[in-house]
Structure 1
């Protein structure tokens, strides 16, 4: 379950920002998670609760914003939405797609005290 290590990285970033921006408690964390990132939202929620216990984000709410996968089709030049890494272009049927968005995870926003 790599979501646990992802949550540990999120906590490290939160702690760094708390030190830099002088806040003591996190109430809500918004994460943007791409459809192609390989991150399972349910596992992320579970891992978040476990990892944040006893930290400045203990009892914080996790809000996940799911981002679509976007790819550029090399043969027809269209930008298309994809659900999986090896989807085909809905316009021309090609599998020569270059992922341009939706394969990442990032902290979008923090609500802090």
Structure 2
């Protein structure tokens, strides 16, 4: 598989957009540097969206389309921020009701 990727001009940076193991990407980067033919036939799983891991065994458990891991992280933080803002508003309203 490494041989095929190299022959098609894939750089290790391209693989960051795929749902594959970071370990695999690091191995491929080293393969490109060292060019050791004993790694020509290493294979991997290219997981579908929202699944990842060496054998696609992990998921984030959401039905949201995840374009990249970076986008998922940004979206998660934004959702958490919105949740805390809503919670803070509810706490203030409840506090006002107690003193009213």
Could you tell me the TM-score, scaled by structure 1's length? 0.20
Higher fraction of helix = 2
The structure whose RCO (Cα within 8 Å, separation 6+) is larger is 1
Higher fraction of strand = 1
Select the structure of larger CA radius of gyration.
Answer: 2
